[in-house]
Amino acid sequence: KAGVTQTPRYLIKTRGQQVTLSCSPISGHRSVSWYQQTPGQGLQFLFEYFSETQRNKGNFPGRFSGRQFSNSRSEMNVSTLELGDSALYLCASSLEGGEETQYFGPGTRLLVL
């Protein structure tokens, strides 16, 4: 089985712009979660999608949003980028979300200038 894939792998944007990141889960997985990883804050949960619906949400401002498509692929959008949004964005997929294993993607490294 192919693993979780994320595109693009690297991205450079400027303040005020918006960005869309994509995540393709492992085939058959319906739960997709997004995380932000920074040296200072570590791994922080953004949100989880299941069956095209946001099921859980972390403590991030409304500039961070996402969606999930019928094929379980998910996108994350950040509007009005700030310097502090520079981070590695990870997505993880699992079958249903819960006790089973989450599988992580390689991440998208976003740099905001």
- Binding-site ranges for another protein (CB under 8 A): 3, 31, 33, 35, 41-45, 48, 50, 55-56, 58, 90, 92, 94, 97-99, 101-106
- Are the C-beta atoms of residues 42 and 110 closer than 8 Å to each other? no
Minimal distance, residue 35 CB to another protein, in Å: 8
Give the whole-angstrom CA distance, residue 95 versus residue 110. 27
Q: Which is nearer to another protein, 53 or 70 (CB)?
A: 53
Name which of 33, 47, 52, 5 is nearest 94 in CA terms. Answer: 33
Q: Which is nearer to another protein, 41 or 80 (CB)?
A: 41
Q: What is the DSSP letter of 67?
A: E
Q: Which is nearer to another protein, 49 or 81 (CB)?
A: 49
